[in-house]
Amino acid sequence: MVRAPCCSNMGLKKGPWTPEEDRLLISYVEKHGHENWRALPKQAANAFFWHDSISVSVGLLRCGKSCRLRWTNYLRPGIKRGNYTMEEEETIINLHETLGNRTNIAWQTKEVLDSRRWSEIASKLPGRTDNEIKNVWHTHLKKRIKPTQTVQDSPRKCQIDTPKFGSKAKAIDRKATRKPKLDCPSHGPPSPSQSLSETLTTPCTNSSNKMCETSNEDIKEEAIVTPYELSDIDDNIWSDAFFADYGTSWDDSLASFCSFSGNEDGIDFWMQVFMEAGDLS
């Protein structure tokens, strides 16, 4: 079987997602659903022309696989972020033990069962993703089950036997206050309360000296990242302030986008977005 070429071989982008890419992806999924990830970048790329017409150099040049992963693990509505409760941790441990022991079912091999483990556990924990559960398991739950010698070997290691409620408090505190790093090395994904103009102009103060788009105040208030709603996106991205920054208007921007893209689906899509946001009638 010949595999589909990796996105890196097709000039598609890899690595951390930018706020603009997130917004393009969210907007697309809100409108078209998430049934065909492979087709998504092509269709969402319509947005590129429109953005480009107002000098915002963003586009959704991602492979479908990357889009699906980003949506499933990070942008999907209802995702819970932040600390796991004791109950959730116990559930993971119990389910891991249960599912991991289901090796004697005749019609399924151990390998098949093992390969389904994380998604099955995730299905029992609403708002948690299999990827996150997997990370939690590998980072501390596994160690709680099997206390390792490394704790004794290295006094600098956090105590891992009683995460969150015991001597690991320091590490958990760090986790709780940790800045999501995805979109900015220091600050993470955009808050729905941010306008795009803010994200494009807020100076970065992070130590790594890379471009940052989120204010420290936002971070304080966003210990748990709220899932996007279409209304949030529209209210904030497509704000008057945004267009003031770029010296254009709703009508001008739509007209520019239409003339650049020449794609009826794209026009319909953005028309719909604007109308739902109440910016066009």
Partner DNA sequence: AACTCGCTCAACCGCGATCCC
Partner DNA sequence: GGGGATCGCGGTTGAGCGAGT
Site for DNA, rule CB under 7 A: 1-4, 6-8, 14-17, 35-39, 64-66, 68-70, 72-74, 81, 112, 114-120, 130-132, 134-136, 138-140, 150, 154-158, 160, 170-171, 173-175, 178-183, 185-186, 206-208, 210
CB of 273 to DNA, least distance (A): 22
Based on CB atoms, which residue is closest to DNA, 35 or 87?
Answer: 35
- The pair of three-digit structure tokens given for residue 232, joined into one six-digit string: 């949030």
The number of angstroms, rounded, from the C-alpha of 132 to the middle of its chain's C-alpha atoms is 12
CA distances to 10, 57, 251, 258 from 52, in Å = 21, 5, 16, 12
Based on CB atoms, which residue is closest to DNA, 178 or 201?
Answer: 178
CB of 250 to DNA, least distance (A): 30
- Quote the CA–CA distance of 229 and 96 in Å, as a whole number: 33
CB of 185 to DNA, least distance (A): 4
Identify the residue whose tokens are 């116990």. 90
Based on CB atoms, which residue is closest to DNA, 63 or 196?
Answer: 63
Based on CB atoms, which residue is closest to DNA, 42 or 255?
Answer: 42
Nearest to 62 by CA among 19, 23, 27, 25: 25
- Quote the CA–CA distance of 221 and 208 in Å, as a whole number: 22
CB of 203 to DNA, least distance (A): 15
